[in-house]
Structure formats: structure tokens, C-alpha cells
């Protein structure tokens, strides 16, 4: 094999192994999962690091050069274990390493290493800090896990997931108004909306219930070991299947066991923001038009009508996105045809 092509071929072989068939991964719900090597390849493409370098990286050799350092910062941002302001996010990066089961010191050694490197290194260089943090984990914590690992979404994707669930379940407008004001009445729709949100964001499975390790990672900004405690496990286990109705099971687990852990009642904040979006109470910022010659900014416009002239019928069709003329000449919209909610009167 000619040395010139070996790097590229290795990359291709690894990509095949990871993705199977045609390289398209069939992702359930909106969950984000990625392997370290996939994130590394992404970043090699973004930063135009030559493909032949992959061979040394794949052999766990990350030499001390500027290109490699910024590559690892990119990987950290990509997988959300690095933040230039707050540094390494332990609850996320831990998932990408597998400690030796008999090693009792890996956590302490890693903390020690981070303390040393981050006080002695150049603290103004983010690439350097991200690189040294990664090396502390690589040298002290464990082996790199080859599989794709769950990693946290950013805030806007959580709101998007909640909005999707509101749409899927056709949550009544009356409830959305409550949510948007920060009230979460205990109603069947609220219970099922929470269940949908946990499912869509990949922290709950229909068959096995909550994934507390993912919840722990998700709330990496407030790492909370109680997610992983025996007590939490026992409480969730007790609720499991005891209700008959899974929406209720999820709701009780949230209310009594999980809600106050990590980012406390994070879901309610997300649902509040999502409800406000759906009700158009939050101005939607439109991208600036490219035709404007002057740079003076005029008043910000909103894409939504003011509340007084709020037209649910129109909104429903806008959301639907596909208005069409029916054979009878009436403008209609696919989703508006079937209206089974108590709020059907707002629609066609």
C-alpha cells in the first residue's frame, strides 16, 4: 500500500465500521450521540487537518503541536465537554473514557493532573487548556470508549424538542397559556407532554424507563450524583409499571424523584419557553435581509401577529406549511382537516 493513501483508507475503513451500511445512522428521537473518533474526524474536516494525521491520533498519540491542540479544543466543543469560559465539563467527558475496574485512583489522579496542568499552563490559550485537560483524562482516567456516547444538547434544541412534542400531542392552547405563564397544572396532557419530552430527548425509554446516566450527563452544568444513587434507582424501580399508565408514571417520577435533581425543574423552564414560542409571545428574530444597503437598524419586526389579532386558524395553517386549494376552491390545509381536540373550533 502506498503510504500516501493509507491515511485516507484508514479513515474510510473506520467510518464504515462506525456507521454500517451506507454511512447514514438511523437516530431515534432527537438524541445526540457521537463517538470520540467521529468527533475527531468532523473537526479534522472543519479545521482542514490533513487526513494522514488520523493514523497517529487513532493510536492515541496526540503530539504537542498547535494543530493538534486546536483540534482537541474543537472535539471538546463538538461533544460539549469543553467550554472556553468554564473549562472541561467532567460530567460529559467522563462518558468518553472507560476506567479500569480495579483502578481506584483514576478520579483522584485526573483531578490532580487537571489542577497541575491548568495552573501551570498558559491559561490564556484555550486550545492549550482544552488539550491539556483531554490529556489528563487520557493518561489518568481510562481508555477512550470507541462507541458513540450520548452528549448534551444546547438549550435551543431542548426547546425545539419540547415544541415538537407540543405539536405531536396537540397540547390544548389553554394549557399552553398556563405553561407560558410558568404554571403547570396536573392534567393528563401535561403528564403525557413530559413523557414525550423525555422520550424525544433520549433520557427515557418506553421499555426500560429513565436513563439516569444520561440525565446526569445532560445536567453537566450542575453535576448531581444523586441521579446515580441506589436510592433514586429504588424509587424509580418502585414506580416502574405500577401505574398502568406511563404518562402518570413519568409524571410521578418527575414530581417526586427526579425533578429537583441536577438543573432543578429544568423541564418546566424548557416547556415554558416552548409554549411561549408556540403561542408566538416571543418575537421571532428574522434574519437580516441581504438587500439592505444602509446599515442602520430599524425597529425589530416580529413574524407573529399581535395577540389582539391572533388568528388561530391562520396560525394552524402557517404551522402546517402547506396550504392548498381544494377541488371546491377553498383554501385548506392538511392538518386542519382532522380536528379532534377540544380546541377544534379554532380551526377549520
Ligand X SMILES: *[C@@H]1O[C@H](CO)[C@@H](O)[C@H](O)[C@H]1NC(C)=O
Q: Which residue has the cell 404551522?
A: 319
User: Closest CB to ligand X among 51 and 95?
Assistant: 95
Rounded CA-CA distance 36/138 in Å is: 12
Shortest spacing between CB 148 and ligand X, in angstroms: 21
Rounded CA-CA distance 271/194 in Å is: 9
Does residue 193 contact residue 271 with C-beta atoms inside 8 Å? yes
User: Closest CB to ligand X among 84 and 256?
Assistant: 84
Does residue 130 contact residue 69 with C-beta atoms inside 8 Å? yes
Shortest spacing between CB 101 and ligand X, in angstroms: 14
Does residue 56 contact residue 68 with C-beta atoms inside 8 Å? no
Shortest spacing between CB 110 and ligand X, in angstroms: 11
Shortest spacing between CB 258 and ligand X, in angstroms: 23
87: phi then psi, degrees, rounded to nearest 5: 80, -150
Residue numbers at the binding site for ligand X (CB under 6 A):
83, 85-86, 104-105, 108
CA dihedral 70, 72, 73, 76 (to 10 degrees): 160
User: Closest CB to ligand X among 87 and 172?
Assistant: 87
Shortest spacing between CB 122 and ligand X, in angstroms: 20
Shortest spacing between CB 224 and ligand X, in angstroms: 17
User: Closest CB to ligand X among 60 and 105?
Assistant: 105
- Following DSSP, what letter does each residue of 5-43 receive, concatenated? HHHHHHHHHHHHHHH-TTS-----TT--EE-HHHHHHHH
User: Closest CB to ligand X among 130 and 176?
Assistant: 130
User: Closest CB to ligand X among 48 and 86?
Assistant: 86
DSSP strands (E only) in the chain: 33-34, 82-83, 87-88, 97-98, 143-144, 149-150, 204-205, 209-210, 323-325, 331-333
Amino acid at each position: 500500500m502506498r503510504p500516501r493513501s493509507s491515511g485516507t483508507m484508514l479513515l474510510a475503513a473506520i467510518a464504515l465500521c462506525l456507521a454500517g451500511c451506507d454511512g447514514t445512522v438511523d437516530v431515534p428521537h432527537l438524541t445526540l450521540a457521537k463517538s470520540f473518533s467521529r468527533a475527531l474526524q468532523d473537526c479534522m474536516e472543519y479545521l482542514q487537518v490533513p487526513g494522514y494525521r488520523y493514523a497517529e491520533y487513532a493510536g492515541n498519540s496526540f503530539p504537542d503541536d498547535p494543530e493538534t491542540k486546536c483540534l482537541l479544543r474543537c472535539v471538546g466543543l463538538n461533544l460539549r465537554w469543553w467550554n472556553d469560559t468554564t473549562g472541561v465539563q467532567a460530567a460529559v467527558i467522563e462518558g468518553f473514557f472507560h476506567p479500569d475496574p480495579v483502578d481506584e485512583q483514576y478520579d483522584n489522579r485526573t483531578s490532580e493532573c487537571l489542577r497541575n496542568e491548568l495552573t501551570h499552563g498558559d491559561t490564556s490559550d484555550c486550545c492549550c487548556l482544552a488539550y491539556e485537560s483531554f490529556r489528563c483524562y487520557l493518561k489518568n482516567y481510562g481508555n477512550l470508549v470507541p462507541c458513540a456516547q450520548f452528549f448534551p444538547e444546547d438549550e435551543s434544541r431542548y426547546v425545539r424538542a419540547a415544541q415538537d412534542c407540543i405539536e405531536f400531542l396537540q397540547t390544548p392552547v389553554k394549557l399552553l397559556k398556563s405553561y407560558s405563564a410558568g404554571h403547570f397544572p396536573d392534567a393528563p396532557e401535561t403528564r403525557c407532554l413530559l413523557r414525550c419530552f423525555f422520550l424525544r430527548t433520549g433520557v427515557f425509554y418506553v421499555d426500560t424507563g429513565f436513563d439516569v446516566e444520561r440525565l446526569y450527563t445532560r445536567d453537566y452544568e450542575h453535576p448531581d450524583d444523586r441521579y446515580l444513587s441506589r436510592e433514586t434507582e429504588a424509587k424509580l424501580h418502585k414506580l416502574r409499571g405500577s401505574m398502568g399508565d406511563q404518562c402518570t408514571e413519568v409524571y410521578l417520577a418527575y414530581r417526586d424523584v427526579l425533578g429537583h435533581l441536577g438543573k432543578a425543574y429544568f423541564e418546566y423552564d424548557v416547556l415554558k419557553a416552548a409554549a411561549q414560542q408556540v403561542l408566538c409571545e416571543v418575537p421571532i428574530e428574522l434574519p437580516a435581509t441581504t438587500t439592505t444597503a444602509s446599515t442602520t437598524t430599524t425597529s425589530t419586526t416580529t413574524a407573529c401577529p399581535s395577540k389582539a389579532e391572533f388568528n388561530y386558524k391562520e396560525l394552524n395553517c402557517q404551522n402546517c406549511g402547506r396550504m392548498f386549494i381544494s377541488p371546491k376552491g377553498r383554501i385548506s390545509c392538511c392538518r386542519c382537516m382532522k380536528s379532534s381536540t377540544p380546541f377544534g373550533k379554532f380551526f377549520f
